[in-house]
Copies of this chain bind each other. A is one copy, B any other.
Amino acid sequence: MNTFGELFRLTTFGESHGVALGAVIDGCPAGVALTTAHLQAALDRRRPGQSAVTTSRAEADRVELLSGVYEDKTLGTPIAAVVRNQDARSQDYAALAKEDRPGHADKVWRERFKHRDPRGGGRTSGRETLSRVIGGAVADALLAREVPALSVVGWVSQVGPLGAPTPGPGLTRAQVDAHATRCPDAAAAQAMEARILQAKSAGDSLGGAVTVRVEGLPAGLGEPVFGKLKARLASALAGVGAVTGVVWGPAELLSRLERPGSQFHAARPDGRPGDVYGGIQGGLSNGEPLQVQVLFKPPATLGSHAKQGRHDPCILPRAVPVVEAMVSLALADAWLLFLARPHRP
């Protein structure tokens, strides 16, 4: 199904080579400040063609708001927004139309749906994430009003074999966006960029990881036992195109998992318990920063197709806003569910 969320719900539509893509956000309360500019700014962050490390396609996507907003505030009614496929360029895909592209979902999709648009990936295209980003922008607008201290910031923490040191608290999206690779560590960013350009010129591709951190999240969000925050975020993130893993806690958790509990759970110098839990206990946010690593596989478009330049050799930099959007959507939903539970002693 194409709807995400229980109370704050995103419904998406649109094929990569159809008339338009779009999103309907239902359940956003009235009175939230929201304009077309908010949505456009979010889309611009996921736009390709912004640097040498991404595809050279210039998707000048313009969003149009169709409903749900009046005088720059939400009405409490469904918010619909569309982006027209101005530049479908299906001729580029004409040669591929007849054959299933290796490494893509073309074959399995065709076998399942039987009737398929042969031009491009349809709903499996990366363009589908555009609708997620629109939804995430609305979620951000709601969260900015409801939980002003909250920040959801992702960054590229690994490209192929190259990692990056974990940034300190207070990281902003602007600090991340200052780097073409969206890795906020200057040295690591430089190395990653070189590696991506090398892969690009070789017709090769690279995977890696995006880490996302949530600061300022109140304790108690999540619904045991099947709506745990951990499960909701895992579902939100694992559903993104090339994701192959979701791991909780800071980047070093994977290695720490090998250690015995006495080390894993050891208190920090300041006496507080280790933040290795990733900000969640018993399925609920615990008031600590929440951190998740999202693992991506390398794109499957290789060789001469890749060299044509209309594909990303490494989607990590452009995946950052998508990962953030999915986290914000899950949190907006969890927040409304939190309000719906007036627990008392």
- Do B262 and A204 touch across chains, with their CB atoms under 8 A apart? yes
**Chain A 254-268 residues near chain B, CB threshold 8 A:** 254, 257-262, 264-265
Cβ A257 vs Cβ B244 within 8 A = yes
Residue of B nearest to A79 (CB): B13
Interface bin, chain A = 35 or more
Q: How far is the CA of A140 from the CA of B203 in the complex (A)?
A: 45
Q: Does residue A21 face the partner (Cβ distance < 8 Å to B)? A: yes
A66: chain B residues at CB < 8 Å are 13-14, 18-20, 22, 82
User: What are the interface flags for A58-97 relative to B under an 8 Å C-beta threshold, 1 for contact and 0 otherwise?
Assistant: 0000001111101001111111101000000000000000
Report which of B67, B75, B124 forms a contact with A20, defined as CB distance below 8 A. Answer: B67
Closest residue to A73 on the B side, CB-wise? B115
CB distance B108 to A227 under 8 Å?
no
Q: Give complex CA distance A336, B102 in Å.
A: 29
A98 at the interface (CB under 8 A from B): no
28 inter-chain pairs at a CB distance below 8 angstroms, sorted by A residue, are A1-B27, A2-B77, A13-B66, A15-B68, A18-B67, A19-B65, A20-B80, A22-B67, A27-B341, A30-B114, A30-B116, A76-B115, A102-B273, A105-B283, A108-B219, A108-B287, A111-B219, A115-B345, A123-B225, A146-B342, A203-B262, A205-B262, A207-B261, A231-B239, A234-B237, A235-B235, A245-B245, A245-B248
Interfacial residues, chain A to chain B (CB-CB below 8 A):
1-4, 6-7, 9, 11-15, 18-22, 24, 26-27, 29-31, 64-68, 70, 73-80, 82, 102-105, 107-109, 111-117, 122-124, 128, 145-146, 158, 160-161, 199, 202-209, 219-220, 223-228, 230-239, 243-249, 253-254, 257-262, 264-265, 273, 276-278, 281-287, 295-300, 302, 336-337, 339-345
